[in-house]
Amino acid sequence: MINALLAQEMVVLFAILVIGSWLGQLSLRGITLGTAGVLFVALTFGHFGLTVPAAVMDLGLVLFVYAVGLQAGPRFFRTFRRHGFQYILIALIVAGVGILAAVAVSYYLDIPYTLASGLYTGALTCTPCLAGAIDTVLRTGGSVSDTATVSVGYGVAYPYSMIAVVLLIQFMPRLLRRSVASEEERWNSARQIEEPALETRQFRITNPNVEGRRVSEINPHRMSLANISRIKRDDRVFAATPDVTLRKGDVVMAVGSSEELEKMRFLLGEETNEPMDVNTNVVSVDVEVTEETLTNKKLAQMRVWEQYNVVITRIRRQGLEIAPTGDVSLEMGDNIRVVGDQNAVEAFQRLVHGSARKAAETNMVPFLVGLLLGIVVGAIPLNLPNGLQVRLGAAGGAFLVSLLVGHFGGIGPLRLYVPPAAKNLLRELGLMLFLAGAGVNAGAEFIAILQQEGIVLLVAGAVITTLSALAGLLVMHFFYRMNMLAIMGALCACMTNPPGLGAANNQTETDLPTLSYASVYPVALIFKIVLAQLLVGLLRGIGS
pLDDT of the residue at 281: 66
Show which of 305, 339, 354 is a domain's final residue.
354
| Residue range 459-512, pLDDT digits in tens | 999 999 999 999 999 999 999 999 999 999 999 999 988 888 888 988 998 888
Asked whether the beta carbons of 43 and 446 are under 8 A apart, the reply is yes
Q: Clarify whether residues 155 and 228 are in a common domain.
A: no
Is the residue at 179 inside a domain? yes
Residue 31 has pLDDT above 60, yes or no: no
Q: Cα separation of 244 and 226, whole Å?
A: 17
Is the residue at 311 inside a domain? yes
| Residue range 186-230, pLDDT digits in tens | 888 877 666 666 778 889 988 888 888 888 777 654 455 677 878
Nearest CA-CA partner of 323 in 190, 188, 197:
197
Q: Clarify whether residues 323 and 454 are in a common domain.
A: no
| Residue range 224-264, pLDDT digits in tens | 567 787 888 887 888 777 778 888 889 888 887 787 888 88
CATH number, domain at 233? 3.30.70.1450
Q: Clarify whether residues 317 and 212 are in a common domain.
A: yes
Nearest CA-CA partner of 232 in 277, 263, 200, 195:
277
How many domains does the chain divide into?
2
Q: Clarify whether residues 180 and 235 are in a common domain.
A: no
Cross-strand bridge partners of residue 337: 286, 314
Show which of 322, 354, 386 is a domain's final residue.
354
pLDDT of the residue at 339: 78
Is the residue at 60 inside a domain? yes
Q: Clarify whether residues 108 and 211 are in a common domain.
A: no
Q: Clarify whether residues 182 and 211 are in a common domain.
A: no
221 lies in which domain range? 207-269+291-354
Is the residue at 247 inside a domain? yes
Q: Clarify whether residues 108 and 12 are in a common domain.
A: yes
Asked whether the beta carbons of 363 and 422 are under 8 A apart, the reply is no
Q: Cα separation of 300 and 448, whole Å?
A: 67
Q: Cα separation of 250 and 276, whole Å?
A: 12
Nearest CA-CA partner of 38 in 425, 443, 495, 487:
443
Q: Clarify whether residues 97 and 26 are in a common domain.
A: yes
What values do phi and psi take at 202, rounded to 5? -120, 140
Show which of 354, 381, 400 is a domain's final residue.
354
Q: Clarify whether residues 447 and 517 are in a common domain.
A: yes
Q: Tell me the HSE value of 167 on the side-chain side, using a 13 A CA sphere.
A: 10
pLDDT of the residue at 355: 57
Q: Cα separation of 291 and 351, whole Å?
A: 7
Question: Angle 36-47/144-176 helices, nearest 10 degrees?
Answer: 140
Q: Clarify whether residues 132 and 247 are in a common domain.
A: no
Is the residue at 90 inside a domain? yes
pLDDT of the residue at 386: 62
Q: What's the whole-number mean pLDDT along residues 59-79?
A: 78
pTM above 0.85, yes or no: no
Q: Cα separation of 531 and 216, whole Å?
A: 59
- Supply angle C-alpha 489, 481, 185, rounded to 5: 70
Strand segments, DSSP code E, in 276-373 are 282-288, 310-317, 320-322, 335-341
Is the residue at 307 inside a domain? yes
Nearest CA-CA partner of 161 in 536, 514, 469, 517:
469
40-71 CB burial, b ≥16 within 10 A, e <16:
bbbbbbbbeebbbeeebbbbbbbbbbbbbbbb
Q: Clarify whether residues 171 and 221 are in a common domain.
A: no
424-457 CB burial, b ≥16 within 10 A, e <16:
eebbbbbbbbbbbbbbbbbbbbbeebeeebeeeb
What values do phi and psi take at 28, rounded to 5? -125, 105
Is the residue at 197 inside a domain? no
Residue 418 has pLDDT above 70, yes or no: yes
Is the residue at 507 inside a domain? yes
Q: Clarify whether residues 265 and 132 are in a common domain.
A: no
Q: What's the whole-number mean pLDDT along residues 127-146?
A: 70
